[in-house]
Amino acid sequence: MRVTATHIYPVTPHNGLVAFANVVLDGALNLCGIGVYERMDGTGYRLTYPLKGKSYAFHPLTPVLSKAIEQAVCEKVKTVIGNHHAGYYRPHDTSR
């Protein structure tokens, strides 16, 4: 499987959440509502997958697919919202 499209929907930063992502796999499967959080150390982003009840609605089953989705989303996030988020305080940021 490969990521054929990625759509990013920025949100007002809150508790690390900076956007939601939709990912299309092989042009045939749309995965919606993936949470994009800035890592606490500011080194990039981490993804969370939606829950339905107490279990995941969907999530990658292999490390290869997980990494492919993460890379596609993180690259797109950087182009859409950049590396800095106005109004989002990072504890390691001493410039404020």
What pLDDT does residue 86 have? 44
Pairing verdict, β 29-38 and 17-25: antiparallel
Q: What is the pTM of this model?
A: 0.81
- Ordered domains of the chain (ranges, CATH): 3-81 (3.30.1120.40)
What pLDDT does residue 84 have? 53
Per-residue pLDDT tens over the stretch 7-21: 999 999 999 999 999
Please count the residues of the chain: 96
Q: Which of 12, 64, 67, 5 is nearest to 31 (CA)?
A: 5
Q: Over its length of 96 residues, how does the chain's per-residue pLDDT go in tens digits?
A: 899 999 999 999 999 999 999 999 999 999 999 999 999 888 889 999 999 999 999 999 999 999 999 999 999 999 998 755 544 444 444 444
What pLDDT does residue 94 have? 43
What pLDDT does residue 87 have? 43
What pLDDT does residue 40 have? 87
5 CB contacts (<8 Å, ≥6 apart)? 23, 24, 27
| Six token digits for residue 55 | 């279990």
